[in-house]
Amino acid sequence: MSNIGSYDERIKNFSWAIAEQELDYKPGNVINIGWYCSDRICQMGKADKLGLIWEGQGGVEKKYTYNDIRIATNTIGQFLRDLGIKPEDRVCLFMDKIPELYLGFLGILKTGAIAQPLFSAFGDESLFIRLENAQTRAVITQKKHAPKVRKIIEKMPWLEYLIIVDQDPAKPLQQREVALNLEELPKVEKFEIHPTYAESPSVLHYTSGTTGQPKGVKHVHYSLISQYLTSKWVLDLQDDDIYWCTADPGWVTGTSYGIIGAFSNGVTQCVMDSGFSAENWYRFIEKHRITMWYSAPTAIRSLMKAGDEVIKKFDLSCLRHLASVGEPLNSEAVIWSEKVFGKPFLDTYWQTETGSIMISNYPGMKIKPGSMGKPFPGITATVIDADKFEPFGETGKIGLIAIKPGWPSMMRMYWNNEETYKNKFKNGWYLPGDRSSIDNEGYFWFVGRDDDVINTGGHLVSPFEVESALLEHPAVAESAVVAKPDFVNMEVVKAFVTLKPGFVGSKDLDLDIMNFVRKKLSPLAMPQEIEFIDSLPKTRSGKIMRRILHAKEWGEEIGDTSTLEND
């Protein structure tokens, strides 16, 4: 039976105190995520249980028990404290998905400092913008990424330490550089963890949004309450699970559910730090007997593109539960996963600012392919009028998703950006910036970003809906839909399409795809133009950057492209 049991019962009797009691936390007590994700699990009698199985290039493996994790995070914590790192100092993690990234995150939190994870593929300019905004005191990185920091270090007098985890002892360190070789440091059995409280800052994540400079989203240690319980009830993490969250901790999914949710529930987590290919991923699942798999629509579509035959080479019967995150999951992908894995990917909706899952599909609940599902117990969510900022009195209307503030993992501020933070709240609601409708059974249906929805002749068209339809055409590999200016209708639908191998763009194919969508949705939703391209612009985390395509169509400035895949 799933952890959530009956969704309707959970909603009726819900209180965040459920998580507090399970975690043995009383309001007003010390709460430190680093301790809860390591020491507490050991105290529960799981010291010898495997907590982390890491696999790198060429199949190199490292394994850590929860006691190993406890000691390694203590050691990193002591190392930082000896350098003079103080509570609330910002310490950046700028690494590939190596063990030191996961251990370093918890070690930083044990000292009371703020962890600032940044995606290792960022260039020096993207790095500088975020380090300058946070006035980061130390960066923990690898020798392969250190040159990016060295390039900008003279512009950052506040950055005191560049800590390199794999420094070659034969090579001299440069100014402000320190080596941290975890395997050579004396192991710290006992470490005095800094007494952080519910509102003590924990993590500073940067999100690009659709406009302006990246924003630093500040979370607190009390976020653990949400992350622990959503991991248990949505991801259905159980004691004997072997869990794989494919997200990089440079992004919020990789910390909330790739570190905090997994380790606070005491499960065994697998991490793969090598290139993507369908064979590689399926081999990894088979080898480690993964039971719970949390991935992203971009990856799922790539697996679909690779075809069904490759799946037959592997025994994937170990898979028990699948979930998806990052952008809306097309109904086609849900149906496909049910066909090839015997179970559907369950869509989960949330964002950096919310810190944990807000709206989701749940084990045991009826799944409507293409739907976001229903609000997590304890979350009050609805759809509101974009002008009056009030909930609609009827179902089926498209409006702004709105969430009542007050859940444990809600962001506490945008770093040094109070005005933008305040603008996220209207009339007592937090606004994620997405549009949706709610059907008569309470299921949410994603329409698009507030600024992505296409208004053609007074009719609202969901880019996501059109993209979903396009993906069902046999020739289409990936698609992105934006508004194109039109004299009569104000806006019309334009689609950018990449084709599957064996298909070539032509006028005939163009018409065939248009008619396919027209028949599937409506003449209003049919693309008035299709542009065949080799690849879509994406962030390094795999999200399609529709705003770049939109800006080109409207002759606007493209803006910040620091998270662009090939920038």
Q: Is residue 257 part of a domain?
A: no
Q: Is residue 138 part of a domain?
A: yes
For the chain, the first-to-last Cα distance in angstroms comes to: 46
Domain count, the chain: 2
> What per-residue confidence (pLDDT) applies to 209?
47
> What per-residue confidence (pLDDT) applies to 460?
64
> What per-residue confidence (pLDDT) applies to 51?
98
Residue 477 maps to which CATH number? Answer: 3.30.300.30
Residue 113 to residue 424: CA distance in whole angstroms: 27
Q: Is residue 393 part of a domain?
A: no
Residue 169 maps to which CATH number? Answer: 3.40.50.980
Task: Compute the Cα dihedral for 562, 297, 218, 386 and give only its sign.
Answer: positive
Model confidence over 197-241: pLDDT tens digits? 999 999 999 986 444 578 999 999 999 999 999 999 999 999 999
Model confidence over 15-63: pLDDT tens digits? 999 999 999 999 999 999 999 999 999 999 999 999 999 999 988 999 9
Domain boundary among 197, 221, 245: 221
Q: Is residue 347 part of a domain?
A: no
Cβ burial, residue 170 (10 Å; 0-12/13-18/19+): exposed
Any idea how long the chain is?
A: 567
> What per-residue confidence (pLDDT) applies to 302?
87
Q: Are 55 and 272 contacting, i.e. CB atoms less than 8 angstroms apart?
A: yes
Rounded to the nearest 5 percent, the helix, strand and coil shares of the chain are 30, 25, 45
> What per-residue confidence (pLDDT) applies to 88?
98
Q: Is residue 12 part of a domain?
A: no
> What per-residue confidence (pLDDT) applies to 20?
98
Within the chain, which residues score under 70 in pLDDT? 208-212, 457-460, 487-488, 559-567
Q: How far is CA 168 from CA 61, 95, 152, 172, 179, in A?
A: 21, 16, 22, 8, 9
Domain boundary among 194, 221, 248: 221
Q: Is residue 41 part of a domain?
A: no
Residue 44 to residue 41: CA distance in whole angstroms: 5
Q: Beta 161-164 vs 138-141: how paired, if at all? A: parallel
Give me the helices (H) in 31-65, please: 33-36, 39-41
Residue 534 to residue 292: CA distance in whole angstroms: 33
Among residues 512, 502, 469, 463, which one has the least CA distance to residue 305?
Answer: 502
Please give the structure tokens belonging to residue 326.
Answer: 């990052």
Domain boundary among 200, 221, 242: 221
Q: Is residue 152 part of a domain?
A: yes
Collapsing DSSP to helix, strand or coil, 181 comes out as coil
Q: Is residue 296 part of a domain?
A: no
Domain that holds residue 93: 66-221
Cα 284 off chain centre by: 21
